[in-house]
Amino acid sequence: MPSNAIRIAKNTLMLYVRQIVIMLVNLYTLRVVLVTLGVEDFGIYNVAGGIVVLFTFLNGAMTGTTQRFLNFALGQNDTEQVRNVYSASLVIHAAIAVVLIVLAQTVGLWFFHTWLNIPSERHVAAFAVYQFSLMTAVIGILQVPYRATIIAYERMSFFAVLSIIEAVLRLGVVFILPVIMFDRLTIYAFLISITAIIILFIYKIYCNKTFETARFRYCKERQLFRQLLGFSGWSAFGSFSTMGRDQGVNILINIFHGVSLNAALGIAMQVNAAIYQFVRNFQTAFNPQITKSYAAKNYDYLMRLILSTAKLSFFLMFFFVLPLYINADFVLRIWLVNVPEYAVTFTQLMLVSSLPIVITGPLWMAIQATGDVKNYQLIASCFLFANLPLSLLFLWLGFDPMWILTTRIILTVLFLFWLIFFVNGRIKLSIKDFFCEVIIPIFIVAGGASFVTVLSHGLFVGDWARLIASCVVSTVSIGCLIYWIGLNKKERVLFRNYVAKESHKNRMLK
């Protein structure tokens, strides 16, 4: 599969370039937004918009469904089916957008006016944020079929460029805010929705002009609609659980502690998302190949993809998590200047919770490829959603808010180990191979690198010296441990051959 490996490598590289630029832009954008809006308004933006996001669970379910069916059809070289899936998904996503509007303007508004803990003088601005966030969410739903088509055809270069353009537009919105004479919170939410509309039109124009299959036509195959809705119906359990956990916890924090802690949680979630997106991009490059290899019944290649993706995903995430966790307080202080209470603790716990999650990525991709998602979603939803009632219990009993994310970590680890056994029962993934080639190397690399980095961190005086030292030591120790312990013999040979090939190429260019 050399051509597939090359394609994955190229797509991964493009997505990394995309994410580096986006991460830098988004982190700077967050800093300016927090300074411009203030902690209170930033918290209002997170919690008011969070109600809308809570209702987008149907879209979350259909996003994975659309991607899976497009990848599967392409894996079988069925152009006609690709065209049908594209057209059917446009209709379904338009219907989801209508459902979102109805839910948000009824149940959502009732919750907004009845339960949210918002200062009375900011109620009008919060209501405007809610409406503009709804507009942005609707546009995001309509983008899904176009984005899924681009990823299915593995046109990652365009996907990367457009994502960078979107991030730059959002940065432009931030630069406009200081000169705005009206309510800045309201204007910010409005301009973000306008940005989403611009990106939607670019997606549409590109897909319509580039892919012959991406042109809407009336799809008469009712069976396909039933398959899409049936698949997404079970996926909706997982999507609702994820939304309920993330946004539900955000709302609970607002009810018990107010908008200031919403700002702290919002910062933690955005920092985690910026880093986690590196791994998502890595896995996005593998996603089409996992589905296509299953569709082509190339099971040996599928197993290698799952093991390699799970292990390398963790290592990639850990490169960022370890130095940032150790230096979280200093990094947030030099980045945000005015750091909200609990922002440091929330950021550290959020980063730790993402480590087991990244390992599950290729496992649920494999489950999606099989199409057998009913039992998976039912049980996975219980693990995910359990965080919400437990958070309510802890907050009601007066526990420290950090217990919300601590519980999330415990549930995520339990979910990972359950998922390993579940996938074994569906595609005969070797549990022994997964533990020997993924779990054990991960524990050794993480434990060894953490010990060395924490030890070196304590040897230096001064925040900057500790930050630089921990970054250097963690990078070197993780890299060495990955090469000697994290990679198996075949992977080390491939790595050496790749380095030798690139060195030879560079010498030839000189």
DSSP H helical ranges for 153-221: 156-176, 184-210
Q: What percent of the chain has pLDDT over 90?
A: 34
Binned at pLDDT 50, 70 and 90, residue 234 comes out as low
The backbone torsions φ and ψ at residue 339, rounded to the nearest 5 degrees and listed phi first, read: -95, 120
DSSP H helical ranges for 342-401: 343-370, 374-385, 387-396
The span from the CA of 50 to the CA of 16, in Å, is: 28
Summarised one tens digit per residue, pLDDT across range 253-293 is: 988 988 889 899 989 988 888 888 778 777 877 777 888 88
The number of folded domains in the chain is 2
The domain boundary, picked from 413, 429, 445, lies at 429
Summarised one tens digit per residue, pLDDT across range 151-200 is: 778 787 788 788 888 888 988 898 888 888 788 899 999 999 999 999 99
The domain boundary, picked from 429, 452, 487, lies at 429
Q: Which domain holds residue 446?
A: 432-510
Summarised one tens digit per residue, pLDDT across range 65-115 is: 777 788 788 877 888 888 888 888 888 888 888 988 998 999 989 988 888
Summarised one tens digit per residue, pLDDT across range 494-505 is: 777 766 665 655
Report yes or no: 67 and 154 within 8 Å, Cβ to Cβ. Answer: no
* Residues 98 and 184 reside in one and the same domain: yes
* Residues 423 and 472 reside in one and the same domain: no
Report yes or no: 359 and 489 within 8 Å, Cβ to Cβ. Answer: no
* Residues 416 and 469 reside in one and the same domain: no
* Residues 419 and 473 reside in one and the same domain: no
* Residues 424 and 437 reside in one and the same domain: no
The backbone torsions φ and ψ at residue 302, rounded to the nearest 5 degrees and listed phi first, read: -60, -45
* Residues 29 and 106 reside in one and the same domain: yes
pLDDT, the chain, mean:
85
What pTM was computed for the model? 0.77
The domain boundary, picked from 429, 462, 479, lies at 429
pLDDT, mean of residues 199-216: 89
